[in-house]
């Protein structure tokens, strides 16, 4: 571990914390002093390094993974009367971007083991209006790319991979982002690498990348004489050089960070009391980057009570995520309890325990001990 990954305070252990080294902090200072702080040379460098990481595919940096998905939907021509199939358990952004494109989100229940979209249920959700599959890699564990792309090919559908959480994961030994259709990745502060805020979209060819640039920044194409034209109603999704500079520093350490996450996840499996009645995540050390370590609490334990009790002993707990279709906006669209029972049950009891590179083994032991103490009291 690098010297800046200092021991976490015993006062409070958050469920996540970014690790940013002094070299990156110094480089950000250089960017600020340069006077060029919006999209510029650092963004180009970050995109070049991301492209190399993704096997030479074109990659365009974005101000968020949400923006990357919005642009991806526009590139695929998704609009009114179209349907996009996605998982019922994810960050609400996954469905919101479909709605904002004017399309209809069609939820599919999850596999209760992987907690990702259940491929066996996808085809039953396909209609004549289906245009895209939007699978989600929950906690960094990849959704079943083999079956998803088989279905997409059979029905002539585009695929947008919500790989927000799976930077450094792989499917069949191939890095997420190296293959597939459109791939959206997040660099939010809680991800395996961060640019503070930001994300990227992995694209298929140079022409798609060019159109992505138009959608990313107001549809504007500039000319050598200083003039410009706007050829489509693009948005404002460009990444700053400040953020890109952080990303460049972080990308160098992705493998280091993920190896540490693997070690901490192994420790959780070794020390967690399996008699407590919790559902642990799949014990996968081949495909996932261990973005999060999530348990599903036993039914008798109210999650709010569990979170309060953990906070009282100085340990942070996250909730990722409630089932999307039970949120007010989506209930108003006609979704209701009972529609997707696996997503509902897991979404009601899932809890994210601390996992980030600066943690120590004794931090994991502390978390496991407190979880056992609290659940044994319930």
List, in order, residues 6 or more apart from 133 with CB less than 8 Å away.
Answer: 84, 85, 86, 122, 148, 151, 152, 157, 158, 159, 160
Closest CA to 148 of 125, 129, 167: 125
For residues 132 and 161, the answer to whether their CB atoms sit within 8 Å is no
Closest by CA to 294, choosing from 112, 145, 122, is 112
| CA dist., res. 364 & res. 372, Å (int) | 12
**What are the beta bridge partners of residue 199?**
62, 186
Classify residue 264 as exposed, middle or buried by CB count within 10 Å of its CB (0-12, 13-18, 19+): buried
CB 63 within 8 A of CB 217: no
191: annotated active-site residue: yes
What's the distance, CA 141 to chain centroid?
10
Alpha carbon of 353 to those of 113, 264, 310, 330, 357: distances in Å? Answer: 18, 11, 10, 28, 13
Residue bearing tokens 């952080």: 246
Strands (E), 43-169: 59-62, 83-87, 104-108, 130-134, 158-162
Among 191, 236, 252, 336, the active-site one is: 191
Cα 347 from Cα 90, distance rounded (Å) = 9
**Among 42, 38, 30, 5, residue whose Cα is nearest residue 20:** 5
| Cis check: omega of the bond before 321, within 30 degrees of 0 | yes
| Half-sphere exposure in the Cβ direction for 162 (13 Å, CA) | 29
Which residues have a catalytic role annotated?
191
């Amino acid at each position: 571990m690098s010297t800046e990954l200092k021991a976490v305070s015993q006062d409070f252990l958050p469920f996540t914390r970014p690790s940013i080294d002094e070299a990156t902090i110094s480089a950000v200072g250089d960017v600020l002093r340069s006077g060029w702080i919006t999209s510029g040379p650092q963004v180009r460098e970050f995109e070049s390094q991301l492209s190399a990481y993704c096997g030479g595919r074109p990659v365009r940096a974005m101000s968020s993974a949400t923006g990357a998905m919005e642009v991806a939907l526009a590139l695929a021509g998704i609009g009114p009367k179209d349907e996009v199939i996605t998982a019922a358990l994810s960050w609400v952004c996954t469905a919101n971007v479909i709605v904002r494109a004017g399309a209809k989100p069609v939820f599919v229940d999850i596999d209760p083991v992987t907690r990702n979209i259940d491929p066996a249920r996808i085809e039953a959700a396909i209609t004549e209006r289906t245009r895209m599959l939007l699978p989600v890699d929950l906690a960094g564990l990849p959704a079943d790319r083999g079956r998803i792309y088989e279905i997409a090919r059979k029905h002539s559908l585009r695929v947008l991979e919500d790989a927000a959480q799976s930077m450094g994961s792989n499917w069949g030994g191939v890095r997420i982002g190296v293959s597939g259709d459109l791939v959206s990745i997040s660099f939010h502060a809680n991800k395996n690498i961060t640019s503070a805020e930001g994300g990227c979209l992995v694209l298929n060819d140079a022409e798609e990348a060019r159109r992505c640039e138009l959608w990313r920044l107001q549809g504007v194409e500039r000319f050598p004489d200083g003039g410009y034209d706007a050829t489509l109603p693009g948005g404002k999704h460009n990444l700053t050089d400040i953020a890109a500079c952080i990303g460049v520093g972080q990308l160098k350490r992705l493998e280091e960070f993920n190896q540490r996450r693997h070690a901490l996840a192994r420790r959780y499996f070794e020390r967690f009391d399996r008699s407590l009645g919790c559902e642990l995540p799949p014990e996968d050390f081949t495909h996932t980057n261990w973005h999060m370590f999530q348990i599903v609490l036993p039914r008798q334990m109210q999650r709010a009570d569990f979170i309060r009790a953990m906070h009282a002993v100085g340990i942070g707990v996250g909730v990722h995520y409630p089932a999307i279709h039970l949120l007010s906006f989506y209930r108003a669209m006609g979704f209701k309890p009972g529609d997707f029972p696996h997503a509902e049950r897991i979404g009601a009891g899932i809890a994210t325990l601390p996992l980030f590179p600066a943690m120590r083994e004794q931090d994991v032991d502390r978390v496991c001990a407190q979880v056992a103490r609290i659940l044994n009291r319930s």
